[in-house]
Amino acid sequence: MAKWFEDAGKNSDIVLSTRIRFARNLKGIPYPKKMTAEDAKRVIALVEAALEEMNYTFTKYDMQKLSPNEKERLVEERYISPDFASSKIPSCAYISDDNNVSIMVNEEDHIRIQCIYAGLEDKKTYDLISKIDTYLSEKLDYAIHEKYGHLTSCLTNVGTGMRISFMMHLPAIVMFKASEGIFSAISKLGLTVRGMYGEGTKSAGHLFQISNQVTLGKDENEIINDITHVVEGVIAKEKELRQELLNQKGLVLEDKIMRSFGLLKNARIMQSKEMMNLLSDLRLGLSLGITQNISLKDITRLMIMASRAHISSSETSDAPFERDVERAKLIRNTL
């Protein structure tokens, strides 16, 4: 099955992906920040034994055996977090053979299960991650408090231990300078807006992640319904402003998008930040019918495959200039 960035789902013109993450810990074992190497190996062994009995196959990635570039590629594909990539204790990632699920063992918590799909797919994503979590809960002794729910390293995850995030492309909201007001309103509803790779990262190419902050006091379905309702409102606003852009500045907007298309098709050197901005224009143009002969899947795939670590893994040198040349070549060949 295709990876999420090679696929398309509902509202893919605005929502690139839906991701749900469950944080889980095991009873009687110190949390990762306090655990010894032997503790870490014990957690890996327990999780691996549980997965081996599961009717769902995974590939194991031992973080201590991967190169920095290999780790960064997994971060770029959003299967592991930047913090997990730099972990100093024994840790492993397990990625399902259908590319929909990844499990980080010994990140901030003992177990972090993630499920990701292209587009606005909250129900499908939740259904799959719930099945994985239910299975593991029958094989492993989770640390659960009778009153507070799942116990986690960070207090903000106590309760359901669930984070749901939608990666969204919001160029019109940014161009109309409406992002500050909308994001402020979102934060008052217990949600947060972050960059492409989550906490501590900046937006690139008008891409933002909207996710929940509250995990305690609500059940999983309530959290999903609340954030999905907000995201649907943001989608509606983005669509409204895109049409307004087209009505107010049709020729200017078309010129900007076609210039971006021309640069992407012909440039011989392309830096990552420039690429993200140009691809953002191309994505907007495609949704408005200005550009054709390329799919949303192609654009999303380029955003990942032309990222730094993916370019560095090719036959070229790891020097920045060589990467920029290779990136431009990949973009030209795709377009």
pLDDT in tens, 171-215: 999 999 999 999 999 999 989 998 765 554 566 889 999 999 888
C-alpha span between 69 and 102 (Å, rounded): 18
Q: The pTM is what?
A: 0.92
Would you list the domain boundaries of the chain?
Answer: 240-334
The pLDDT value given to residue 105? 98
The predicted-structure confidence for 21-73, as pLDDT tens digits, reads as follows 999 999 999 999 999 999 999 999 999 999 999 989 999 999 999 999 999 99
Q: What is the mean pLDDT of residues 5-14?
A: 93
The pLDDT value given to residue 217? 84
The pLDDT value given to residue 224? 95
Please calculate the CA angle 92-97-103 and round it to the nearest 5 degrees.
30
Cβ proximity of 310 and 295 under 8 Å: no
Residue 287 CA: distances (Å) to CA of 14, 17, 171, 172, 250: 9, 16, 11, 12, 14
End-to-end CA distance of the chain: 23
Cβ proximity of 97 and 57 under 8 Å: yes
The predicted-structure confidence for 292-315, as pLDDT tens digits, reads as follows 888 999 999 999 999 999 998 655
C-alpha span between 271 and 83 (Å, rounded): 25
| Confidence check: pLDDT of 223 > 90 | yes
Cβ proximity of 74 and 93 under 8 Å: yes
> 238 or 217: whose pLDDT is higher?
238
| Confidence check: pLDDT of 146 > 80 | yes
